[in-house]
A and B are shown apart, each in its own frame.
Chain A
């Protein structure tokens, strides 16, 4: 890697945090990963929020990486509040020099190539925030509620009480299946209701993978793109949805629009001048 690096390895690459509309504040100070000096690399009306670094990914102990991930987000938050809109990059996106071209030139070339796209996205995300919503169940409570409320299960339990041991064993299995099915139905129903109510108040929604939890069952993990002024309203909807025994709702934000800005950009290679003309 270092062999291709014409400027030397010390700080020849650029770690990119985000793309923002151009602002007067070009310097964010030593707020970056590992205390790096963060500044705006401005190109026309937009800017990349960067720090100088060696052309290697950030690697370390998991706790250290977790700390860097948070710093990455903090820097983006700061740039976001300065600039009003933001396109966050994923953690550890580093652009290095290549051949004759410096890292800075590579970044600028990408900004130029994707200029209209980036600008349109920045406009789109103006005054919008991402919210995270996770719906979790306490399985013990939910199962108990189902057992107590389902007529089918009530009947099976009554039947079980009157039968011999062998027959009761089979009925027990039937009850277990009935509970499982009812839980799945309820999860689908609750998800649909919650999702529908959030969707009509959001500019965009994204269903994330459900994560494994220690003692809770995650039935929904959503990202919402929401107008700033509607955050309270969303909170109220969630308040209502969470007002049910055994249901916990985690509501985080405002986040920069990571989920909705997620895309793959292409960088490096031959000069773009000929391709550029074809795009317009």
Chain B
């Protein structure tokens, strides 16, 4: 029997899943409108910062990605982005369409 209740000593991996990949993020609307939804994850926010590079270094430190040179890191980034997009595209799209709709309505009202 090996159920490990690790409430007191949550592992780094668990922190990565939650504190670095979950939670609310904020993006600058100007950045957002220029990149159209699906590109969202590659943005380096201006008003709001998410420090992706540091995340990668951190992920290396806790053994999530191999330290085998920059090529691998790049590949990892690409894979992460692709996976991230696939997983989030539905939600993002819904949210983004809502935003565009609101924006259009706003424009119309302004005219």
Q: Do A and B bind each other?
A: yes
- The answer to whether A62 and B60 have CB atoms under 8 Å apart is yes
CA A90 to CA B45, docked complex, whole Å: 14
Contact A252 B58 (CB under 8 A): no
**Is B27 touching A90 in the complex (CB atoms < 8 A)?**
no
Task: Let me know if B32 is at the binding interface, CB within 8 A.
Answer: yes
Render B22-51 as a binary contact track against A, CB cut-off 8 A, 1 for contact: 111111111010000000100000111111
Determine the chain A residues whose CB is within 8 A of the CB of B12 once the complex forms: 66
Q: How many residues of A contact B (CB 8 A)?
A: 70
In the complex, whether B72 has a CB less than 8 A from a CB of chain A is no
Q: Which size class do B's interface residues fall under?
A: 35 or more
Q: Among the listed B24, B32, B110, which residue makes an inter-chain contact with A274, where contact means beta carbons less than 8 Å apart? A: B110
Kindly state whether residue A147 has any CB partner on chain B within 8 Å: no
Contact (Cβ within 8 A) A65 B50: no
Closest CB of chain B to A49's CB: distance in Å? 12
Which chain B residues in 78-111 approach chain A with CB under 8 Å? 83, 91-92, 95, 99, 102-103, 105-106, 109-110
Knowing A88-B24, A249-B3, A258-B23 are in contact, say whether A94-B48 is a contact too (CB < 8 A).
yes
**Contact among A106, A110, A248, A261 with B22 in the assembled complex (CB-CB below 8 Å):** A261
With A89-B25, A212-B64, A265-B27 as known contacts, state yes or no: A239 contacts B50, CB within 8 Å. no
- Of B25, B57, B60, the residue contacting A265 (CB under 8 A) is B25
Kindly list chain B residues whose C-beta atoms are within 8 Å of the C-beta of A265: 24-27
Identify which of A238, A253, A267 gathers the most chain B CB atoms within 10 Å of its CB.
Answer: A267
A162 at interface by CB-CB < 8 Å:
no
Binding site secondary structure of chain A: mixed
Q: Which residue of B lies closest to A70 (CB)?
A: B15
A208 at interface, CB cutoff 8 A: yes
A–B Cβ pairs within 8 angstroms, 25 of them: A62-B60, A72-B19, A88-B23, A90-B19, A92-B54, A93-B25, A93-B48, A212-B63, A223-B22, A242-B1, A242-B2, A248-B4, A250-B6, A251-B4, A252-B6, A252-B7, A255-B14, A262-B24, A265-B26, A265-B27, A267-B27, A267-B48, A274-B110, A275-B105, A277-B109
Residues of B within 8 A of A (CB): 1-7, 10-15, 17-30, 32, 40, 46-51, 54, 57-58, 60-64, 83, 91-92, 95, 99, 102-103, 105-106, 109-110
